[in-house]
């Protein structure tokens, strides 16, 4: 099986800081991959490079067998890489409906019928449990619902690779349970790359875990292997005195 | 902008057009002529609103698009002896070409830089008009001769200098642009434009090529403003460099802010309001600009989103 996403020697410098330092990363189709690591480890920078929001200083990104390193972000989105923002970035003044209609109307192939947009929007809102709030301005939704709206927008793009950047941040425990179910459903049709701090969520969802530290991949493996990994424990907890 | 109350919205717009039509038979001569002029300038404001209101791009150079139409049509009639429809089309073409070129260059910037770049280009355009004064008439401008301002259909002909014909032509153009605006802002493309205004970065991450969408908006805005300019030259018969000056870049901004940015009827309300306040106050005092200024300050204080914008926010959520 060919990998869905590969990066080779991917680096990004911010001034003197190497936020991402020659990362070689491989993601197989259908996986749920969690990316964890201490604050400032370069996780968000790494997925921003993959989604095209920022350009790499060096290295290359291959998506589905094609080099996408030089492509602008919107072209990558069209090829199936969807990114949901860490800091909630919905269109606050537009209704939840319009927020989701934007990705839906772009992915529609027939392009004309009004009913198709409506059906697509309501399907995405239904899956995230926001259907009864369709006509509320997104800015008036609770924080948890705005996070879900982000996911609905990502879903509506019909991505092959869905990048979720700290999706459970600020969610209540009850919302997190629903969220785990939702990600499992999404993973039936798409590959999921999940940056997450909440360890119970990571352990329940991830097929494999990649640990970042200081811009490099520190370890990679199944949840059990990562839990037992001494280097990971050291990165998170510090060296024993 | 979603599917809420299309019937109400279309009803309101047809109602507004019908009202303007009826007014043609009720208004005294002076106000009849004034309203015709206001409708043509409201088209200019609508073109400006398309870019400023919906896409959030604040241009300080729209006088050049208006004058592209004004001079495009005016010079075609005066220097080349073209007929009215051909001259109008020439004005539109000038608007398309100019807005395409300016859009390609100016859209490389955003925010304050966009304001400055558009303003500089407009100044260049203004100075070019003055420089080629042997053709353009320089700061004196040119008068489009009355015999040339006739719309001929075979045997019958319409004299654009006739007040009723002039009023109805202005109303026709106004109605057309108003309905195009309404359809456009309710369309999927309109939704994308608003998304760019609200959060361009996010719109890109939904797979939209925001540069092309913005460029299209600049060109649409440029065509509408050029249509207004071309109509002005042909209906009112005066082509002057004053219309290319910075004042005419700021006026549409004021009209739109007054009436309500990102409202379809706001540009008309704003233009109307401004003209009538000036008209009424200048009858009482020579310091009428002072009163206009006070009126503007009061409006900004109590209707910060413009007349229609604030009405929509407070009472009429369905207003397009």
Hey, where are the domains in chain A?
1-80+160-241, 93-158
Q: What pTM, to 2 d.p., does this model score?
A: 0.90
CB spacing of B202 vs A91 below 8 angstroms = yes
Lowest mean pLDDT among A223-227, B41-45, B284-288: B284-288
Nearest CA-CA distance, residue A6 and chain B, Å:
20
CB spacing of B206 vs A135 below 8 angstroms = no
Residues of A in contact with B214 (CB under 8 A): none
Residue B9 CA to residue B160 CA, distance in Å, equals 32
B204 close contact with A: CB closer than 8 A:
yes
Q: A26 forms bridges with which residues in the sheet?
A: A6
Q: Are strands A216-221 and B238-239 parallel, antiparallel or unpaired?
A: unpaired
- pLDDT for residue B46: 98
Residues of A in contact with B192 (CB under 8 A): 102
**B184: helix, coil or strand?**
helix
Q: Which of A141, A121, A116 is nearest to A131 (CA)?
A: A121
What does DSSP assign to residue A4? S
Residue B155 CA to residue B58 CA, distance in Å, equals 47
- pLDDT for residue B1: 42
Residue whose token pair is 């409506």: A118
**Are A50 and A81 in contact, with CB atoms under 8 Å apart?**
yes
Residues of A in contact with B4 (CB under 8 A): 135
Residues from A in contact with B at Cβ < 8 Å: 51, 53, 72-74, 77-78, 82-83, 85, 89-95, 97-98, 101-103, 105-107, 114, 117-118, 135, 153, 157
The first and second tokens of residue B65, run together, are 């698009």
Contacts by residues B150-157 (CB-CB < 8 Å, ≥ 24 positions apart): B150/B84, B151/B84, B151/B85, B152/B83, B152/B84
Residue from A74, A75, A113, A162 whose CB has the most chain B CBs within 10 Å, to mutate? A74
Residue B77 CA to residue B142 CA, distance in Å, equals 11
Q: Are strands A32-36 and B142-143 parallel, antiparallel or unpaired?
A: unpaired
Residues 6+ apart with CB under 8 A from B260: B266, B269, B270, B305, B306, B307, B308, B309, B310, B311, B312
- The answer, yes or no, to whether residue B289 has pLDDT greater than 60, is yes
A40: left (phi over 0), alpha (psi -120 to 50) or beta: left
Q: B142 forms bridges with which residues in the sheet?
A: B239
- The answer, yes or no, to whether residue A239 has pLDDT greater than 80, is no
B29 close contact with A: CB closer than 8 A:
no
Q: Which of B62, B92, B65, B100 is nearest to B76 (CA)?
A: B92
Q: Are strands A216-221 and A208-213 parallel, antiparallel or unpaired?
A: antiparallel
Q: How far is CA B239 from CA B32, B67, B121, B136, B141, in A?
A: 21, 8, 20, 8, 5
- pLDDT for residue A111: 55
**B266: helix, coil or strand?**
helix
- pLDDT for residue B21: 96
* pLDDT cut 90: percent of chain B above it: 76
- The answer, yes or no, to whether residue B188 has pLDDT greater than 70, is yes
CB spacing of B195 vs A89 below 8 angstroms = no
**Which secondary-structure segment (H or E) carries A66?**
strand A66-67
- pLDDT for residue B154: 74
Residue A164: pLDDT band by 50, 70, 90 thresholds?
very high
Which tens digit of pLDDT belongs to each residue from A94-142?
Answer: 999 999 999 999 887 655 666 888 999 999 999 888 999 999 999 999 8
Which residue in B has a C-alpha nearest to residue A108's C-alpha? B188
CB spacing of B204 vs A74 below 8 angstroms = yes
CB spacing of B199 vs A91 below 8 angstroms = yes
Which tens digit of pLDDT belongs to each residue from A34-55?
Answer: 999 988 899 999 999 999 999 9
Q: Are strands A191-195 and A32-36 parallel, antiparallel or unpaired?
A: parallel
Residues of A in contact with B197 (CB under 8 A): none
Mean pLDDT across chain A, nearest whole number? Answer: 89
- The answer, yes or no, to whether residue A26 has pLDDT greater than 60, is yes
What angle, rounded to 10 degrees, do the helices at B266-282 and B307-314 form?
130
- Which superfamily does A1-80+160-241 belong to? P-loop containing nucleotide triphosphate hydrolases (3.40.50.300)
* pLDDT cut 70: percent of chain B above it: 98
CB spacing of A93 vs B3 below 8 angstroms = no
CB spacing of B202 vs A90 below 8 angstroms = yes
The first and second tokens of residue B56, run together, are 């959030």
Residue A73 CA to residue A68 CA, distance in Å, equals 10
Model ipTM value: 0.86
Task: Tell me the average pLDDT across A169-183.
Answer: 86
**Are A123 and A205 in contact, with CB atoms under 8 Å apart?**
no
CB spacing of B207 vs A77 below 8 angstroms = yes
Q: Which of A233, A169, A175, A215 is nearest to A195 (CA)?
A: A169
- Closest CB to A98 among B2, B201, B205: B2
**Which secondary-structure segment (H or E) carries B223?**
helix B210-236
The first and second tokens of residue B179, run together, are 């309905």
Residues of A in contact with B6 (CB under 8 A): none
């Amino acid at each position: 099986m060919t990998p869905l996403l590969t990066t080779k020697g991917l680096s990004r410098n911010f001034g003197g800081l190497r936020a991402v330092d020659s990362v070689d990363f491989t993601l197989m189709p259908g996986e749920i991959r969690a990316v964890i690591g201490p604050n400032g480890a370069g996780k968000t920078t790494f997925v921003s490079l993959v989604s095209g929001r920022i350009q790499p200083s060096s290295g290359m990104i291959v998506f589905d067998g094609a080099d996408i390193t030089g492509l602008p972000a919107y072209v990558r989105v069209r090829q199936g890489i969807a990114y949901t923002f860490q800091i909630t970035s919905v269109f606050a003044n537009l209704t939840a409906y319009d927020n989701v209609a934007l990705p839906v109307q772009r992915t529609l192939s027939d392009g004309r019928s009004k009913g198709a947009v409506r059906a697509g929007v309501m399907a995405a809102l239904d899956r995230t449990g926001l259907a009864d709030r369709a006509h509320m301005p997104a800015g008036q939704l609770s924080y948890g619902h705005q996070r879900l709206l982000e996911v609905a927008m990502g879903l509506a793009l019909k991505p092959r690779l869905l990048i979720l950047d700290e999706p459970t941040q600020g969610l209540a425990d009850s919302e997190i349970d629903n969220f785990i179910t939702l990600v499992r459903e999404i993973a039936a049709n798409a590959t999921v790359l999940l940056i997450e701090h909440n360890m119970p969520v990571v352990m329940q969802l991830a097929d494999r875990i990649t640990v970042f530290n200081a811009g490099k991949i520190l370890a990679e493996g199944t949840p059990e292997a990562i839990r037992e990994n001494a280097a990971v424990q050291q990165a998170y907890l510090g060296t024993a005195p | 902008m979603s599917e809420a109350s299309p019937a109400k919205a279309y009803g309101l717009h047809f109602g507004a057009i019908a009202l303007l039509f009826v007014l043609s038979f009720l208004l005294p001569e002076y106000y009849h002529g004034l309203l015709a002029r206001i409708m043509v300038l409201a088209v200019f404001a609508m073109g400006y609103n398309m870019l400023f209101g919906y896409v959030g791009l604040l241009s300080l150079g729209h006088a050049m698009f208006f004058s592209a139409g004004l001079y495009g049509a005016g010079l075609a009639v005066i220097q080349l002896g073209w007929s009215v429809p051909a001259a109008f089309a020439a004005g539109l073409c000038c608007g398309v070409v100019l807005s395409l070129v300016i859009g390609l260059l100016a859209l490389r910037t955003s925010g304050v830089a966009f304001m400055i770049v558009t303003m500089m280009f407009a100044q260049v355009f203004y100075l070019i008009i003055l420089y080629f004064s042997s053709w353009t008439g320089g700061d004196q401008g040119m008068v489009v001769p009355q015999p040339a301002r006739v719309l001929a259909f075979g045997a019958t002909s319409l004299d654009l200098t006739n007040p009723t014909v002039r009023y109805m032509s202005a109303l026709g153009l106004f109605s057309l642009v108003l309905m195009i605006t309404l359809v456009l802002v309710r369309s999927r493309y309109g939704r994308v434009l608003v998304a760019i205004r609200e959060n361009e970065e996010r719109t890109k991450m939904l797979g939209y090529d925001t540069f092309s969408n913005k460029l299209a908006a600049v060109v649409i805005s440029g065509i509408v403003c050029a249509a207004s300019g071309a109509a002005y030259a042909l209906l009112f018969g005066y082509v002057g460099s004053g219309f290319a000056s910075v004042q005419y870049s700021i006026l549409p901004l004021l009209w739109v802010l007054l009436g309500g940015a990102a409202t379809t009827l706001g540009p008309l309300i704003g233009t109307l309001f401004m003209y009538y306040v000036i008209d009424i106050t200048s009858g009482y005092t020579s310091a009428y600009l002072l009163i206009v200024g006070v009126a503007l300050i009061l409006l900004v204080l109590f209707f910060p989103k413009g007349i229609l914008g604030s009405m929509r926010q407070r009472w009429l959520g369905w207003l397009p």
